[in-house]
Amino acid sequence: MTYIEKPSISNVVKFEDPDVAQVKKLTVMLNTGTDIYQGACKKRGSTLKDEYRKVAGVCYMDPKDMARLGVGNWESVLVKSDWGEVVVYAAHSRDAPHEGMIFIPKGPWANVVVSPETYCCSDPTYKGIKATVEKTDKEVLLMADLMRDVYKKYVKEGDKPEELPSLGEMPVYKKIRSG
């Protein structure tokens, strides 16, 4: 049973808005945090599924910012910060307007671009990070593929994680009794 398909986001990105000038790259402030769709999907345990990618691998943007970049809902964007870069979906924020600010729900995608710096306070800096957003053709990765691509813990030497087959949406492990 599925409670969530997609957050309902109306397609109100006006590409012909006379107030916005087209840009290649946008400098923004990145915030991360919880979100009800992400929370429900994560705690249900559906983290390998496409659904998790749709709720956590997504960057909620102001529609004007999306028009500036020329991206529509559910198109890929590349978010870069000093700590890394990640491909996520762009989506029109429910909390707009907030030009110059993007929100990525917490999860493996956001982790790649947030700062691990705690300034000796135990708590990493998850909010208020400088980042850039640009349009990209790359696909947003599923959770298992993203973890393999970014951390490469069990990738053999010489193998390129981006060329390996996808790990898919179900747990993969060797069972004692086959069948």
Interaction site with other proteins (CB under 8 A): 1, 3-5, 29, 31, 33-36, 39-49, 83-84, 94-98, 101, 103, 106-108, 111-128, 143-144, 147-148, 150-156, 170-176
Min dist CB 31 to other proteins, Å, is 8
Indicate the residue among 74 and 126 with the shorter CB distance to other proteins: 126
Min dist CB 6 to other proteins, Å, is 10
CB 92, CB 66: distance < 8 Å: yes
Q: Provide the CA 64 distance to its chain's centre, in angstroms.
A: 19
Min dist CB 63 to other proteins, Å, is 14
Secondary structure string (H, E, C) spanning 102-153: EEEECCHHHHHHCECCCCCCCCCECEEEEEEEEECCCCCCCHHHHHHHHHCC
CB 40, CB 3: distance < 8 Å: yes
Instruction: Tell me which residue has tokens 């990765």.
Output: 141
Indicate the residue among 31 and 73 with the shorter CB distance to other proteins: 31
Indicate the residue among 44 and 135 with the shorter CB distance to other proteins: 44
CB 107, CB 42: distance < 8 Å: yes
Min dist CB 54 to other proteins, Å, is 14
